[in-house]
Amino acid sequence: MIDLLTGILAASWNVLVEAGPYVLFGFFVAGLLKAFVPDSFMARHLGGDSVGSVVKAAVIGVPLPLCSCGVLPAALGLRKQGASKGATTAFMISTPETGVDSMAVTYALIDPLMTVIRPLAATVTAVFAGVLINAFPDRKAEPQPLAGLSDSSAACTGCGCGGSCAVPPGESVAARFRSGMEYAFGEMISDIGRWLLVGVLIAGVISAAMPADALDRYVGTGLLSYLAMLVVALPLYVCATASTPIAASLLLKGLSPGAALVFLLAGPATNGATITVMLKTLGRRAAGLYVGSIIVCSLALAYATDHLYAALGLDIRAVVSEVGELLPHWVGVTSAVITLLLVARSFLKRDHESHG
């Protein structure tokens, strides 16, 4: 038992060392987005039932670092300000499925091709769902946005992605930059950090405790593996960043790239809270099309991804096993330590505030 625990901790530390520099870089870029991209910019471009508004919503959501709970206040705020159901849904899908932080970690732990496929797949899924919802509107009286979630400054609970308001306009560039960094390395670390560490720990458990041929033996490849990942991912509370080390560990155990993509798409985009809120705010038809679109697109894109890797002759397991060589070891160790210190500071700050 001691050997197993030691192996899990060692594997988890290795994952954090490999991901650490990219995690910090992702948070830095997220801070820049928070500081210099106003919320009003999104609201202006997402009105109407056109395909263009859906595409804009999907593309705008891709780099934003919000998970499936954190995106709810922002998306429903956009809906209240005039965004169509389709655009709101597209934003709610593409935003949690990927982000600058998760793309950086994908590059670190998986491979460059998956780093490109992931945001493209999120965009395709989001556009497909948004266009479908606009094409088949609910004829019944439209539900009203929940009062507590229609304000983009509403707090997120559950999966831990804050929904704080944007940096106030009119500030100097230096002040906006400072505010963005405080958000990224303060509030975002507080919201996402613990979930990232949970994902790293799960990755360590998979790496140390799961036999190398377990997935080949019990799950196999193709449709069965895609369905298995859907069953695991759909109800799961996991943000895009935290899902990445888990997917990387599963890839090393024999999971196909397509099945891993199913987990990376469906896990962050859906959970019980998201579906419940959609039922109450956008209606049953929209909620059904939302979940159905994620399932259909995940399966179709998984099939395409596996065939793309096969056509290119790429062995993703070999690439994943060598990701530690991307940067000098000391850079990874330093970044891992900084990440742990930032997360520890967020816990201490939260504990202080709860007793204050």
pLDDT in tens, 207-230: 777 766 666 666 667 888 899 888
Give the per-residue pLDDT at 184: 82
Q: 302: pLDDT confidence band, cut at 50, 70 and 90?
A: very high
Which is it for the CA torsion 334, 9, 342, 91, positive or negative?
positive
pLDDT over 60 at 336, yes or no: yes
- Per-residue model confidence as pLDDT tens digits over 94-132: 988 888 888 888 888 888 999 999 999 999 999 999 999
Give the position of tokens 């940067």: 327
Give the per-residue pLDDT at 293: 94
Most confident region among 95-99, 215-219, 279-283, 294-298 by mean pLDDT: 294-298
What are the sequence ranges of the domains in the chain?
2-355
Which among 269, 200, 213, 194 is positioned nearest to 236, based on CA atoms? 269
The pTM for the full model equals 0.72
Of the ranges 96-105, 107-116, 177-186, 347-356, which one carries the lowest mean pLDDT score? 347-356
Give the per-residue pLDDT at 70: 60
Tokens of 155: 């707090």
Give the per-residue pLDDT at 242: 79
